[in-house]
Structure 1
Amino acid sequence: MKEPPISRLVLWNIDLTLLDVAQVTREAYAEAFEKVTGVPLVYLAPVAGRTDSELFFDFLARNDVDDADESLLPRFTEELGAAFARRGDQLADRGRMMPGAAEALDAVMRLPDTVQTVVTGAIRASAKAKLAAFGLDSRLDLSIGGYGSENYPKASLIQFTRMRAEEAYGRAFPESQTVYITESARDVEAARIGRVTPIAVVSGSSTESQLRAAGAEHVLADLTDPAAVVAAVRAATDGD
């Protein structure tokens, strides 16, 4: 039986890697949390490298919601998606695309035998809303992405996304041909646990030294040089 062709898979984080919509995101979290629990979201939690599902349970603990249980999570996810939908026209006005993001995505799209999608802590609905607000959604195959609404840690999302890509495209996307581009040291660790190669961007709260200590050998100052992004992807996969 003939082996399927091998292709490259490029996974992107969204927040602070491609986009910065933190202000709108905080408001959507607050609205959804209060609707589900009846308690105002006063105390937030660190978001870098974490999924919306993880954040919800941290919000519960930090805001003293003692009688909560896991049945609240699906309601929170639904309300969060609705909150983002109501703010769709605010995302571009009050947020920003990270410098070079569109050009970097376009450059990676031109690589032969390469598919790119997202692995993000955001739920599917809010991830799509964020990317669509800046016109980035058409550059990614969002049907195979990994999202925080799946209620798995990032390392598992990375592997599930790789397997979905293989099923959708009928090709092999080996771990050695898969990279995860992110600004978070926690995501770098998740990539290592998920057995793919991280490419770090110094555009969030993690410093270059923190990213390297987490296991990133390929580190970019930003995304403003598309050739450098492509070179990092190739170096991490086929060594070119």
Structure 2
Amino acid sequence: MWNIDLTLVDVAQVTRAAYAEAFERVTGAPLVYLASTSGRTDSEVFFEFLARNDVRLDPGEEPLADFIEALGESFARRRDQLTVRGRAMPGAREALAAVAALDDTVQTVVTGTIMANAVAKLSAFGLDRYLDLSIGGFGSEHYPKASLIQFTRMRAAEARNAAFSEAATVYITESPRDVEAAVIGHATPVAVVSGSATESQLRAAGAQHVLEDLTDTDRLLSALRQATAAAT
């Protein structure tokens, strides 16, 4: 399982613009104060936006579904900006191709991004071809990352008619919150120092396997073999 943002792609500029447009469209208030999105789902981000920007809801008001819809539409209008204002992370394409070539291995994503936007991010850089997105976990499901990891493992088992044990499940990410979610969700985290977190922060969160980036595919594959050694 892969995280997307700052693990496989960096499209932060486009994402921020879509957040701002969707937030103002739904609440009527400008998005002045941002929140950290690392390791969070789009649902969690929305409620933190509300708090940070002092937007108070009326009793019974539930704007989350409207925000998710508006976010998808706002992001779709910016799809042509993804390759102009964003990039695939160094080594991402080669890393996905190398893991895809492994026997008895299924690749997908577990991301806080809603499904439509996640697919757009990956397809813009040709990364979707290596992943089975039909079994992935996405922010549009409104569950925390740890639950998404567990659900994704179950979906993979059902789709492939095969058992995928906890010991054989790996989550690759750059976020300490995601590392913690992997531990809670009974997947082995493999961390990449490609975001704002340091190696020591990733290890403190529970990552025993930490890579500088994805450019060394041999090192990545070695980390995956070590991470899943107990399953063999």
What SS is found at the alignment partner of 1:219? strand
How many Å separate the matches in 2 of 1:60 and 1:213? 30
Deviation of 1:228 after TM superposition, in Å, equals 1.0
Tell me the residue number matched to 1:78.
Answer: 69
Unmatched segments (≥5 aa) in structure 1: 1-10
Deviation of 1:227 after TM superposition, in Å, equals 1.1
How many Å separate the matches in 2 of 1:97 and 1:209? 25
Question: CA 1:120/1:63 → structure 2, altered by over 3 Å: closer, same or farther?
Answer: same
Q: In the alignment, which of 195, 201, 212 is matched to residue 221 of structure 1?
A: 212
Q: Specify the code of the residue in structure 2 equivalent to 1:130.
A: K
Structure 2 residue 27 is matched with structure 1 residue 37: yes
**Moved segments of 4+, more than 3 Å:** none
How many Å separate the matches in 1 of 2:74 and 2:190? 32
Tell me the residue number matched to 2:195.
Answer: 204
Q: Which has the larger strand fraction?
A: 1
Structure 2 residue 115 is matched with structure 1 residue 124: yes
Asked which structure has the greater RCO (Cα within 8 Å, sep 6+), the reply is 1
Q: Specify the code of the residue in structure 2 equivalent to 1:12.
A: W
Instruction: Write the mapping of 1:78-227 to structure 2, written as runs, cut at 5 A.
Output: 78-227=69-218
Tell me the residue number matched to 2:229.
Answer: 238
TM value normalised by structure 2: 0.97
TM value normalised by structure 1: 0.94
Identity %: 71
Deviation of 1:238 after TM superposition, in Å, equals 2.5
Q: What RMSD over aligned residues (CA atoms) do the two structures have, in Å?
A: 1.1
Q: Specify the code of the residue in structure 2 equivalent to 1:143.
A: S
Unmatched segments (≥5 aa) in structure 2: none
What SS is found at the alignment partner of 2:170? strand
Tell me the residue number matched to 1:7.
Answer: none
